Amino acid sequence: MNFIFKLLGDALYMIPVLLISLTVHEFSHGYVAYKLGDPTAKNAGRLTLNPLKHLDPIGTLMMIVAKIGWAKPVPVNTRYFKNPKQDMVKVGIAGPLSNIMMAFIFVVPMYTFNIIHQLGTMGSVGTWLATFFYLLYRVNLNLAVFNLLPVPPLDGSRVFYGILPDKYYFSVMKYEQYIGFAFLLIIILSPSILSGVFNVLTYPFDYAFGAFGRWVVGLFF
């Protein structure tokens, strides 16, 4: 019962965080593809900031429970691109970059409301805002790093394929489904491995953004 109450409590925080983070992530993919000449996402109604168009039920649940998940992939048709291989790199990296930008933006209010929470000047509202902006920061950072992993079907695989020499491209593509399945098994059976990878990969961003956030907030408190 306590687990259920905790899950519901987490959902109250995570749902608005996910609505913002996943929506901007998927919109960024669609917007870059559209600017490169592909109207597929726009025609499918995905070139929008309406979160209901982007959320995947299982991926959203995973984000609430495990803090790692996914949204519905934005459809892309490479036939519209002038340079399909290079343009797919741009489309693939757009989502993670949007999350990195949001983490950078949210780090200042995260530290600000953490201090306000410690001072107790806003009561329970300050506590909620401190937690909310912490999750906005952390979820966006995690989404960026997770999606940059060069494993299908994550965004990082699009970047990886884009820089892979042509003579190896089709050889790797033949095993794409198997690689993706193996990765899913690692997430399910050995989450500690993924957690260790995350700690290493997020550290540089966390360190740099944290230093910036503390410096800005230190100017006012």
Active site residues: 26
What sections of 174-190 are H helices per DSSP? Answer: 176-189
- From the CB of residue 14, how many other CB atoms can be counted at a distance below 10 Å? 21
**Greatest CA separation for the chain:** 62
One-letter amino acid for residue 166 of the chain: D
CA dihedral sign, ordered 33, 75, 156, 206: positive
Token pair belonging to 143: 């989404």
Which own/partner pairs from 131-134 qualify as long-range (CB within 8 Å, at least 24 positions apart)? 131/13, 132/13, 132/16, 132/17, 133/106, 133/109, 134/110
- SS3 state of residue 134: helix
Helix 155-163 crosses helix 166-173 at what angle (to 10 degrees)?
140
State both tokens at 60: 């959203």
